[in-house]
Amino acid sequence: MVGVWRNGLIVLQGDQLRAIGENLDAHDLYPTPVALVEGEPLRVLAQRVDMRGRSLRWLLDQLGTDRTYYLSGELRMGSRLDPPVQDLDRYRPAWFAGQVLRLHLARGADLERYLGLVVAQGEVCSSG
């Protein structure tokens, strides 16, 4: 489990983040009976990063590749992208609304389309 989304869970399935829940309009997957198995405790490190004047590529370079990071925040970008047509109720780790890029537990792979854009204003919280 990575996080929560509209009374459901966000999980990593293969290499994609997916939302699981009973609302088929807001979730990608419908739950079946599951069991959580106790394992090693999670160790989460979190930090806030002021992104003004920086690109997402810069951020990913700073975070490194030695662990998986999940990014959340809102970034006002210096340019506007036309977003692909998408169902706004569905879980998306990264999406544009006007000039604002919203991140909700996004990973580096979710940001490939936006790596070269420079942030005009905003901060990101990274955890991993």
Q: Look at the pTM and tell me if it is higher than 0.75.
A: no
Instruction: Answer yes or no: is 22 within a domain.
Output: no
Number of domains in the chain: 1
Would residue 19 count as lying in a domain?
A: no
Q: Is residue 97 part of a domain?
A: yes
- Of 128, 125, 64, 124, nearest to 100 (Cα)? 124
Residue 54 located in a structural domain: yes
79: tokens are 């340019």
The reply to whether 39 falls in a domain is: no
Classify residue 78: in a domain, yes or no.
Answer: yes
Per-residue pLDDT at 75: 92
Q: What is the mean pLDDT of residues 112-127?
A: 87
Q: What domain range is 83 assigned to? A: 46-127
Strands lying side by side in the sheet with 70-77: 46-50, 119-127, 70-77, 100-106, 94-97
Q: Tens digit of pLDDT for each residue in 87-110?
A: 656 788 888 877 889 999 999 889
- pLDDT given at position 125: 86
Residue 74 pLDDT grade (very low, low, confident, very high; cuts 50, 70, 90)? very high
Q: List pLDDT tens digits, range 20-69.
A: 888 777 777 767 776 778 888 777 778 889 999 999 999 999 888 788 88
**Domain for residue 20, yes or no?**
no
Contact 26, 6 (CB under 8 A): yes
**Is there a domain that residue 14 lies in?**
no
- In this predicted structure, what is the pLDDT of residue 76? 92
